[in-house]
Chain A
């Protein structure tokens, strides 16, 4: 009976037909700011009205901590993860927590933006550079500038204990810059502080409590467009980058809706939403939002993902030790 009724219903109701038959509940764990997460969900639901999506937002390390508690309790709540970095995703993949989405259409994306076995897919490029308050007289152009006396006591950074992007940033900088962790020691000697996440950095720099901040690109660029007194710099050595990958958890209760969600993020429409929100979309054909230099002019520093994964705890500890956390 169900077999006959369902296609009939689908045929009768155009909304359901459009929904590709996907329905039910979907829980998204994400590190996107609330507004962005809500917009993403709203856009997804416009195409899949049968799916009811709830989300949990926090910094990537905190999301992971929550998730690991739920693994321990034997009832992970999340179906889909949309978090800062692929290193974390690699870790989950190795633990066997992820579900491959073999049918995902990644033809438009160059190799390397997704896992070859399709366990996770990059959705954006989020770089970390330098923001400054427009009242600042000294305008830094490089990472080394942050160790100069002009910046003394005026720099704020996100902590890798709170932010996934900050963890990758630390791994990238210590991997490429001469002296490794000595760079962070120099920042500490220059009275830099690292407390919370990127949001804290934005608030302190936009609020003028600190003049300089290490921060992900879209936050200051977007707030500047609203009128906040901030400016963003792509330092000349290059920027570190995360890709905000999406993945489906193996324990998902609704794999169909989860796949539809991933498909949506990878679709042209999903990628254009990222553009509208002020992110660099992962799709190479999507333009960059206003306030960014051209795609080819953004120099991304290289970084060793395997090493970053192996060193994750060590890096967190090294950072926490220098900045007293």
Chain B
């Protein structure tokens, strides 16, 4: 087959409008914020002054926050890595029952925003735990909640990020040809031997990639250390940035940019390293059937099922139950019983309080609007990237990742820097309008929404387009007549995924909200900070419900989507699709063939 990615085919000619669109989006959403941050940190007050940045970075609070960030991210990675890997192996190669639903639930736990998970774990343990109290297991009064502080942050980060590892490892497993297993079997190898001698060595690059991803996610996480660390003064860099900026105002923005740059630098280096490592030495799945479960567990199956059940209970079920229990008591600290049970907190947040109702509406609108805009742009952007950019596409795709890899709080600083003053020429200010939040969402989730479409675009057959082009169809006609219909489900899926992540996020809007533009994430954090823990739990339960529904919709869309679009799919959804992909496998470009399902950094 002709390598149409090295030589310019006639399809690649023209389309400058489309290229300009791609370039504009990449510049506005990725290059511009990053550049603005760099300038603010290096040129405080308009003159080049790296000393100011260095003195900020070497201050006592900055260095202790840097240490806290580093150690929580590191230790949580050591927890997430084995847990996520074991889950990926059990669900990927054994004959465990209910693999699909287990996979769905495990990934659901990472789609729920970290602050909701942190709140849930906070309420699960400690002397006030409604669940532990109902069981008579609660620790005595005066004993600290074990979730507060370093240990709690590490545990919750680790559990929360295990599904990220799971997603990367599952994708890795799917890239191993079934032939590897079959060949080993013919040689008489037992399943455990196949795993250790054949699969694990092949998975090594993914293991490293997953570890780096979990580490980066830990570095940039805001919700978990904000809820579990701030009350006991154990601050990580994102929380320190938030606290400085929210308590001292924008006068601190130079200092805070320097801190943000530090976090961003760590994150970008790790992600770049993971990309290089997973790309190098990966197995190439070409004209081969992907790995299928081959390990018949027999009597051990029930043990494996109990393990998976226990993991799901810890990461999802128990926290949500404890949220529910906290939401059902009149005041935090009271035990849950028939006598104390009340729906008052739900009524308060869903009916009486304008601000929570408005925040739900805002979040639906901003996340939904951003998701809609994204799903409208991703198809032309993906087309431009794959068909028109030649080898520049690798650079462009990497740039698109920048805003996603930047911790949300750092992206928010960049947006404040960009939009605090009225825009030049038009003299319109975006600060204190919904647009600043929507802009940040577009920037942050562009790569999330783009991913399934890029995958679909890379799998799309070019022959039809060539035929249309020969018949004289112009770019717009080809785009709308041929490419768009086949990529529409992927665009919808990408948009929904962006919606899922944007809906309950806190890390971006924490610094960008203002009167009337509060998001539901902000309201949840605010209620918790104001001491209204029961109401915060009620909001959290509603968030979980919305996210679950959105995920179910996505799951139902699954059969129309390109393979690998949904991170929780543990096996090819349709045999014929797999066969089709096998036929056209060489059509994948090297930059895109490595696209893994997007894991939810926050």
Binds A, one of B158-166, B228-236, B282-290: B228-236
* B40 CB, nearest partner CB in chain A, Å: 14
Determine if A203 and B353 form an interchain contact, defined as CB atoms under 8 angstroms apart: no
Convert A161-183 into 0s and 1s, putting 1 for each residue whose CB lies closer than 8 angstroms to a CB of B.
11000000000000000000000
Q: Are A198's CB and B354's CB within 8 A?
A: no
Within 8 A of B (CB), among A195-239: 195-204, 206-211, 219, 223, 226-230
- Note all chain B residues with C-beta closer than 8 A to A199: 528-532
Interface residues of B in 217-253 (CB under 8 A from A): 230-233, 235, 243, 245-251
Q: Which of A196, A198, A226 contacts B331 (CB 8 A)?
A: A226
Task: Return the CB mask of B328-339 against A: 1 if under 8 Å, else 0.
Answer: 001111100000
Interface contact tally, CB-CB below 8 A: 189
Chain B window 504-531, contacts with chain A (Cβ cutoff 8 Å), 1 for yes, 0 for no = 0000000000111010000100111111
Residues of A near B23 (CB, < 8 A) are: none
In the complex the two chains form, is B142's CB within 8 Å of A193's CB?
Answer: no
Among B128, B429, B529, B532, contact of A196 (Cβ-Cβ < 8 Å): B529
Query: For chain B residues 122-165, which have a beta carbon within 8 Å of chain A?
Result: 126-128, 140-145, 148
4 other contacts beyond A58-B526, A325-B233, with CB at 8 A cut-off? A70-B514, A206-B333, A223-B331, A227-B331
Asked whether, in the complex, the Cβ of B531 is within 8 Å of the Cβ of A227, the reply is no
The 5 closest A-B pairs by CB, nearest first: A199-B531, A207-B128, A208-B127, A206-B333, A135-B141
Q: When the two chains form their complex, are residues A34 and B527 in contact, meaning their CB atoms are under 8 A apart?
A: yes
A289-316 with Cβ < 8 A to chain B: none
Kindly state the separation between the CA atoms of A200 and B527 in the bound complex, as whole angstroms. 10
Distance from A104 Cβ to chain B, minimum over Cβ atoms (Å): 24
Contacts of B353 in A (CB 8 A): 34-35, 38
* A62: min CB distance to chain B, Å: 5
**Whole-angstrom CA separation of A206 from B331 in the bound complex:** 9
Asked if A154 and B431 make an inter-chain contact with CB atoms under 8 angstroms apart, the answer reads no
Question: Which of A74-82, A116-124, A246-254 touches B?
Answer: A74-82
CB distance B142 to A210 under 8 Å?
Answer: yes
Partner-binding segment picked from A8-16, A49-57, A92-100, A139-147: A49-57
Q: Which residues of B contact A35 (CB under 8 A)?
A: 348, 353, 532, 535
B334 touches A75 (CB 8 A): no
Task: Report yes or no: B515 in contact with A227, Cβ–Cβ below 8 A.
Answer: no
- B233 contacts A55, C-beta separation under 8 Å: no
Q: Is the CB of B529 within 8 A of A135?
A: no
Contact across chains for B355 and A55 when beta carbons are under 8 A apart: yes
Q: Return the CB mask of A41-83 against B: 1 if under 8 Å, else 0.
A: 1000000000000111111011011101110111101100000
Q: What would be 21 A-B contacts, judged by CB atoms less than 8 Å apart? A: A35-B348, A35-B532, A58-B246, A65-B248, A66-B246, A68-B250, A69-B249, A69-B416, A69-B431, A73-B432, A77-B432, A195-B230, A196-B529, A206-B128, A206-B333, A208-B126, A208-B128, A208-B140, A209-B145, A227-B334, A228-B333
User: What residues on A are CB-neighbors of B245 within 8 Å?
Assistant: 65
Residues of chain B within 8 A of A70, CB atoms compared: 431-432, 514
If A193-B233, A228-B332 touch, does A72 touch B250 (CB 8 Å cutoff)? yes
Which of A59, A73, A75, A219 has the most chain B CB atoms inside 10 A of its CB? Answer: A73
Chain B 312-328, CB within 8 Å of chain A: the 1/0 string?
A: 00000000000000000
- In the complex, which residues of chain A have a beta carbon less than 8 angstroms from the beta carbon of B249? 64-66, 68-69
Contact across chains for B516 and A54 when beta carbons are under 8 A apart: yes
Residues of chain B with a CB closer than 8 A to A258's CB: none
Write the A23-40 contact mask toward B (1 if CB under 8 angstroms, else 0). 000010100011101100
Are A29 and B145 closer than 8 Å at their CB atoms? no
Q: Are B429 and A323 in contact (CB under 8 A)?
A: no
Please list the residues of chain A having a beta carbon within 8 angstroms of any beta carbon in chain B. 27, 29, 33-35, 37-38, 41, 54-59, 61-62, 64-66, 68-70, 72-75, 77-78, 133, 135-136, 154, 156, 161-162, 193-204, 206-211, 219, 223, 226-230, 323-325
Our pick among B340, B420, B515 for the contact of A55 (Cβ within 8 Å) is B515
User: Is B514 in contact with A77, judged by CB distance below 8 angstroms?
Assistant: yes
| B533 CB–A CB distance under 8 Å | yes
B247 near A62 with CB under 8 A, answer yes
Chain B min CB distance to A166 (Å): 12
Q: B515 near A27 (CB under 8 angstroms)? A: yes
Docked complex Cα distance between A68 and B252 (Å): 11
A251 CB to closest chain B CB (Å) equals 13
Contact indicator B247/A200 (Cβ below 8 Å): no
In the bound complex, what is the Cα–Cα distance between A100 and B523 (angstroms)?
Answer: 32
- When distances are taken between beta carbons in the complex, the residues of chain B under 8 Å from A193 are 231-233
A250 to B356, CA, bound (A): 29
A228 cross-chain contacts in B, Cβ below 8 A? 331-334
Binary contact track B402-425/A, C-beta < 8 Å → 1, others 0: 000000000000001000111000
- Interface check B61, CB cutoff 8 A: yes
Q: Is B67 part of the contact surface with A, judged by Cβ < 8 Å? A: no
- The answer to whether A200 touches B231 (Cβ under 8 A) is yes
Asked if B391 is at the interface of the complex by the 8 Å CB criterion, the answer is no
**Is A210 in contact with B251, judged by CB distance below 8 angstroms?**
no
* B8 interfacial by beta-carbon distance below 8 Å: no
Q: Within the complex, what minimum Cβ distance (angstroms) separates A252 from chain B?
A: 13
Can you name the residue of chain A whose Cβ is closest to the Cβ of B147? A209
Q: From residue B136, how far is it (CB to closest CB) to chain A in Å?
A: 15
Q: What's the least CB distance linking A30 to chain B, in Å? A: 11
Contacting residues, chain B, for A62 (C-beta < 8 A):
246-247
